[in-house]
Every structure is written in structure tokens, then in C-alpha cells.
């Protein structure tokens, strides 16, 4: 399913279905994920929290919590975030 993100409005759509309200952090993570490749935890950390270093990803639960919230919201519109063992996440 195709995902569209409108950063100005803070909205995301999966086809004709609006994704439940996303935080700005979740939007930034989603924008990075929809590029189509597997995204490492470090890359997601930097995308969602630009002042962080990718080296902090291993010690930070922020990425895991943001992905969990994003997974729950995207599941409501039929989109799934997959964990790729040893690599990161992808839609």
C-alpha cells in the first residue's frame, strides 16, 4: 500500500485511509522508513531526533518506543513495519 506524508499538516495517508494522529517525531521516522530500504536503528534515531548520534541507538529505547507507537498506528490502516534482524526496520 502506498503511503503519503504531508509534513506541513502533520498527516499521513495509506491509500484513502488517514493514519491516526502522528507526533512530529513519528512523522520524521515514517518519512525515513517510506524511502523503501531497510533503516538501521541509528539512522532512525538521527531521522527522528536530529541532535542524536547514531552511536546512541544501541543504548536508546527511544527508537524502539517510537517504532512500537508507529506500528500500532499504521496497523490501523493496514501498513506493517517489519524488523529485519541485524539490520533495522522496513515497511
Determine the Cα–Cα distance for residues 89 and 79; give it in Å rounded to an integer. Answer: 13
Determine the Cα–Cα distance for residues 21 and 5; give it in Å rounded to an integer. Answer: 12
Examine the pLDDT at 19 and tell me if it is beyond 60. yes
Give pLDDT tens digits for 33-79. 998 799 998 889 889 888 777 666 665 688 889 999 999 999 999 99
Determine the Cα–Cα distance for residues 11 and 59; give it in Å rounded to an integer. Answer: 30
pLDDT at 87: 93
Q: Which 8-state DSSP code applies to residue 39?
A: B
CB 40 within 8 A of CB 48: no
pLDDT at 51: 79
Amino acid at each position: 500500500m502506498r503511503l503519503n506524508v504531508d509534513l506541513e499538516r502533520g498527516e499521513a495517508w495509506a491509500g484513502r485511509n488517514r493514519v491516526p494522529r502522528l507526533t512530529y517525531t513519528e512523522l520524521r521516522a515514517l518519512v525515513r522508513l517510506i524511502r523503501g530500504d531497510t533503516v538501521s536503528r541509528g539512522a532512525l534515531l538521527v531521522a527522528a531526533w536530529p541532535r542524536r548520534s547514531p552511536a546512541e541507538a544501541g543504548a536508546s529505547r527511544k527508537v524502539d518506543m517510537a517504532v512500537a507507537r508507529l506500528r500500532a498506528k499504521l496497523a490501523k490502516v493496514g501498513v506493517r513495519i517489519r524488523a529485519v534482524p541485524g539490520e533495522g526496520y522496513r515497511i
